[in-house]
Amino acid sequence: MFLLRSFIYLLCLAAVASLIQLEGFELQQNALYSEETLTEHMQDVLTFLSCILFFYASRINFQLRISAILLAALSAMMFVREFDTYLDLYLFDGAWQSIVYSILAGVLVYLIAKRGSIFNSLKAYSLTPSYRVYLSGMVTLLAFSRIMGKGAFWHSVMGDDYVRVVKNIVEEGVETLGYTLIFISAIELVLICRKKMAKNHKHCTDEATQ
């Protein structure tokens, strides 16, 4: 089963890379890799699905509930941030900031109420395979993509031949990789929670039959 999941994740990453390339093959020199592109829409979908999966995990595992809710909230804020153009256009200017601050406020209130259980939940999550994949995704997203997307670096490398779309491809491509890893970590967490739920159910059934 582990090898099968690894192969599926490999195919998933290959598919994401192919979709990132699709715009370039289709539009060639006209490709922009800006807000209105398949790559950006993939980021929206990945963050939304990650949020749903983390929230689902929080509903089926009590021990990891706090950790899963925090991860769901982070994914929700990432989704809102990636969706900012539409929110500002169809709601009001600065809508995404208001929504993010509201989510953050809700999380802080929740953490205050659950402050006695936070450490144990985070410790339990840190021992799961999902944590390692999630950490890799966050490092890729928040650190590596930002460093690789620095305009000064690309101006230095290209000089007078600087082409913004090249910088965009690298930055958005690495960002999408980070979001994909976070999505995979959400899948792994759900699988872990479901496995524990099935084990607990079996244990309760065995005790009832004795």
| Range in 84-88, 98-102, 157-161 the model is least confident about | 84-88
User: From its phi and psi, is residue 28 left (phi > 0), alpha (psi between -120 and 50) or beta?
Assistant: left
| Range in 53-67, 80-94, 99-113, 179-193 the model is least confident about | 80-94
Which of these, 68, 64, 98, lies nearest to 80 by C-alpha position? 98
* Section 166-173 average pLDDT: 88
- Whether residue 204 is predicted with pLDDT greater than 70 in this model: the reply is no
Question: How many other CB atoms are there within 10 angstroms of residue 201's CB atom?
Answer: 10
* Section 10-33 average pLDDT: 83
Distance CA 95, CA 147 (A): 27
The pLDDT, as a whole number, for residue 209 is 54
| Range in 73-87, 97-111, 189-203 the model is least confident about | 189-203
- Whether residue 205 is predicted with pLDDT greater than 60 in this model: the reply is no
The pLDDT, as a whole number, for residue 201 is 60
- Whether residue 161 is predicted with pLDDT greater than 90 in this model: the reply is no
Calculate what percentage of the chain has a pLDDT beyond 70: 94
Distance CA 67, CA 98 (A): 24
Distance CA 54, CA 74 (A): 10
Distance CA 107, CA 123 (A): 19
For residues 83-100, one letter each, b for 16 or more C-beta atoms within 10 angstroms of the residue's C-beta and e for the rest, the string is bbeebeeeeeeebbeebb
- pLDDT tier at 23, thresholds 50, 70, 90: confident
Which of these, 66, 42, 37, lies nearest to 54 by C-alpha position? 66
How high is the mean pLDDT of the chain?
Answer: 87
DSSP symbols for 131-174: HHHHHHHHHIIIIIHHHHT-HHHHHHHHGGG--HHHHHHHHHHH
Bigger pLDDT: 100 vs 88: 100
| Range in 87-96, 98-107, 139-148, 174-183 the model is least confident about | 87-96
Sequence-separated (6 or more) residues with CB below 8 Å from residue 26: none
Distance CA 61, CA 191 (A): 11
The pLDDT, as a whole number, for residue 92 is 77
Q: 55-90, pLDDT tens digit by residue?
A: 999 999 999 999 999 999 999 999 988 877 777 777
* Section 162-184 average pLDDT: 90
Q: Which amino acid is at 49?
A: L
- Whether residue 125 is predicted with pLDDT greater than 90 in this model: the reply is yes
- Whether residue 185 is predicted with pLDDT greater than 70 in this model: the reply is yes
Residue with tokens 């998933």: 12
- Cα dihedral value 142, 147, 150, 156, nearest 10: -170
- Cα dihedral value 10, 11, 12, 17, nearest 10: 90
